[in-house]
Amino acid sequence: MSSPLKIYEFYDLSSHNTMGVSAKARFFTEVNTVDAHRKALEFVQENELPVLILGGGSNILFVKDFPGLVIHQNSKGIELVAENDEQVEVTVAAGENWHQLVQFCVNKGWGGIENLSLIPGNVGAAPIQNIGAYGVELESVFSSLEALYIKTGEIRTFSKDECAFGYRDSIFKKELKGEVIIISVNLILQKNQQVQLSYKALSDYLEKNRINNPGIKEVSEAVIAIRQSKLPDPNEIGNTGSFFKNPVIPVSLFDDLKQKYPDIPAYPVSGEQVKVPAGWLIEKAGWKGKREGEVGMHAKQALVLVNYGKATGQDLWEFANKVKRSVHQQFDIDLTPEVNIIS
């Protein structure tokens, strides 16, 4: 017999978001089976509540309390579903911790996600923004996922094409935003991975440390070392990593800006567009390391909005908007948050 669902009321979410904001959920529950998901959704329908799925809370900003049911997705399991001489396919439950999955795969010799070491959060959230770092994005190893529709309870498989992955983007941030619960993700990993070293900070690190012919283990260790040296640890200082996306702008605007700021960096996206590092714009606008009360932009990484302790979601959001306005004023570029804003 299945056990009843435990539902908490006026639940404090401060330990469930890496920004450390003390927002409250009107209702909160933890689910780890499909049956429990369905019970949670019955509760939502009976009480006509909005619903929010929460993984590790490392890409979310609660600007205010959440008036409905927060479902903490906590299912576990890594299953090897197919294998040949070259590759493996694994099905991973949404509640598995992403970095632990990376380490598990690296230890098995399965390559493809080593560049994504130490990204906080859970596997179920990884497709939402097609997580990426050090020259690799989730989509390069993604095969499919299973998701449950919140309104109907129907379970469906989504192929890679159907997920419509883009830069920190997918269908789950657009048409299907808030519509489905991702239950598991299938990845295809390589037994003889050609490591991806195109990202300059990574190749520089390996060269400087005289690591020749690195394998997936060395790449993972290098990524961990680089990340630890420049990103604040959410256990010590509240943050959600990069707060804004790197804006993609027309080449014509970039050419104008280059006249005024000859050192402005950019990466080509297409013949007509380039991507400009948001951190550079924020730093140039004078916000790097700037602090106002309990909020600031981090001193080592201008793109990281930080909570020095007691900031409310409102404080953080107001500060982020101040930075956004200032960048717009100076460069005529609109920054958009990478983080999911709950307001």
Which of 233/292 has CB closer to ligand FAD? 233
Shortest separation between residue 231's beta carbon and ligand FAD, angstroms: 5
Shortest separation between residue 121's beta carbon and ligand FAD, angstroms: 2
Which of 115/193 has CB closer to ligand FAD? 115
Residue ranges of E strands in the chain: 8-12, 24-31, 51-54, 60-62, 66-73, 78-83, 87-93, 132-133, 136-137, 142-149, 155-159, 180-190, 238-242, 248-250, 267-268, 273-275, 291-292, 295-297, 304-307, 340-342
Shortest separation between residue 81's beta carbon and ligand FAD, angstroms: 19
The answer to whether 239 and 306 are in contact (CB under 8 A) is yes
Which pair of tokens denotes residue 73?
């997705």
114 catalytically annotated: no
Give residues with Cβ within 8 angstroms of 192, minimum separation 6: 86, 111
Q: How many CB atoms lie within 10 A of CB 44?
A: 19
Shortest separation between residue 304's beta carbon and ligand FAD, angstroms: 7
Shortest separation between residue 160's beta carbon and ligand FAD, angstroms: 17
Which of 257/296 has CB closer to ligand FAD? 296
Which of 331/337 has CB closer to ligand FAD? 337
Residues listed for the chain: 343
Which of 101/126 has CB closer to ligand FAD? 126
Q: Are strands 180-190 and 295-297 parallel, antiparallel or unpaired?
A: unpaired
Q: Cα separation of 126 and 55, whole Å?
A: 10
Stated as kind and residue range, the H or E segment containing 108 is: helix 98-108
**Residues of this chain that bind ligand FAD (CB under 6 A):** 18, 52-60, 73, 94, 119-122, 124-126, 128-129, 131-133, 181-182, 231, 234, 239-241, 340
Q: Which amino acid is at 80?
A: L
Q: Cα separation of 134 and 153, whole Å?
A: 37
338 catalytically annotated: yes
Shortest separation between residue 97's beta carbon and ligand FAD, angstroms: 9
Alpha carbon distances (Å) from 128 to 54, 76, 172, 180, 268: 12, 18, 5, 11, 24
Shortest separation between residue 187's beta carbon and ligand FAD, angstroms: 14
Which of 145/206 has CB closer to ligand FAD? 145
The answer to whether 299 and 288 are in contact (CB under 8 A) is yes
- Given 96, 146, 168, 170, which residue is catalytic? 168
Sign of the four-CA dihedral 214, 217, 218, 219 = positive
210 catalytically annotated: no
Question: Which of 167, 188, 163, 311 shows the shortest CA–CA distance to 240?
Answer: 311
Which of 249/303 has CB closer to ligand FAD? 303
Tell me the catalytic residues. 168, 242, 338
